[in-house]
Amino acid sequence: MSALTANVAIVSDSPNLSFNDVAPVAAAMQKQVTRDFSPLWNVQATVSAFDKLENVPVDYWPVILRDDINAPGAAGFHTDKNGQPFSLVQIDSGWNLTVSHETLEMLADPFGNRTVAGAPPKQAKFPKNVHLKRVLYLVEVCDPCEADQFAYTSNGVHVSDFITPQYYDPSQTVAARYSFGGNIQSPHQVLDGGYVSFGDPKTNHWYQVLVENGKAVTKSLGIIQTNGRSLRETIDDLSRKSHDNNRFQARTAKTMKAAAGAAANGGTYAESSAARAKELRQKIDSLFKP
């Protein structure tokens, strides 16, 4: 039996980014998913642009573009009241690359809890009393190679490089491909500007290896308590609290030029889509509350 096809919606929730701006990025994403990602990750998906959130069908996973996401922890992966995934992306000069990043990670791990066991990263440095032989990696397919310099183009649009399933292999082999662009050269490697999250299965103590300016740093995230959230949501929140730089902070929006004449397509979609759009906006607004 074939796997169900995932459906992703790319939609602007800003008057400053029109459907005409979003549609070429969605087309580039569809090509990236079909040509590059699906054969490696065995995922079938459609990626479509929509003119507004109310027009997104209820069984689509939306990637929602907004002008400014002021609250740390708001950007990136979330789940709605039914546990279905959606992502928030801030509109800035690199929003298309972020859309690619979030879409691929959503397709590889829709519900934010997928882990793979393996040896600790060779770049990790632990305290003397920590001796890890086996860890659980959170599957985030773009994080180890997320920096702009490792991006490539699809339909002329910059899209994110991503790891392959062989990234989690126990040892390096000559014929293996560890990231689509070939930038990663060995299992569990983190490139400059990237990071990887992993935990001790015995204690549930989680760590991250980050590489900045060529230097690898190991950060402790502590013992994880998800409290009903997904593992990814929990780790993203802890990451922002743990790091003393702007790596996980919202960036100031560079507003895109608004396109004129974006007419609403009223009355042609089911009330359920409008209801879900309202619920998603309420969920998003709740993320900004102290």
pTM given for the model: 0.86
User: Residue 44: pLDDT band by 50, 70, 90 thresholds?
Assistant: very high
Q: Which of 253, 246, 216, 250 lies closest to 93 in space, CA to CA? A: 253
Query: What's the mean pLDDT when you consider all of the chain?
Result: 88
Rounded CA-CA distance 285/3 in Å is 34
Q: Could you report the per-residue pLDDT of 227-255, keeping only the tens digit for each?
A: 889 999 999 888 876 655 444 444 444 33
pLDDT of residue 73: 63
CA dihedral 151, 48, 44, 145 (to 10 degrees): 20
pLDDT of residue 263: 25
Classified as helix, coil or strand, 125 is coil
Rounded CA-CA distance 94/121 in Å is 29
CA distances from 178 to 40, 123, 154, 282, 288 (A): 11, 16, 20, 39, 37
pLDDT at 137 over 90: yes
The answer to which of 19-28, 82-91, 182-191, 259-268 has the lowest mean pLDDT is 259-268
Rounded CA-CA distance 86/72 in Å is 17
pLDDT of residue 96: 96
pLDDT of residue 51: 96
Tokens representing 284? 């998003």
pLDDT of residue 269: 45
pLDDT of residue 237: 85
Q: What is the 3-state secondary structure (H, E, C) of 204-267?
A: CEEEEEEEECCEEEEEEEEECCCCCCCHHHHHHHHHHHHCCCCCCCCCCCCCCCCCCCCCCCCC
pLDDT of residue 3: 77
**Residues 217 and 244: beta-carbon distance below 8 Å:** no
pLDDT of residue 259: 27
Q: Could you report the per-residue pLDDT of 139-194, keeping only the tens digit for each?
A: 999 999 999 999 999 999 999 999 999 999 999 998 899 999 999 999 999 999 99
Range 202-231 average pLDDT: 95
Rounded CA-CA distance 259/12 in Å is 12
Type of residue found at 213: N
What is the Cα 8 distance to its own chain's centre? Answer: 13
Classified as helix, coil or strand, 104 is helix
pLDDT of residue 110: 96
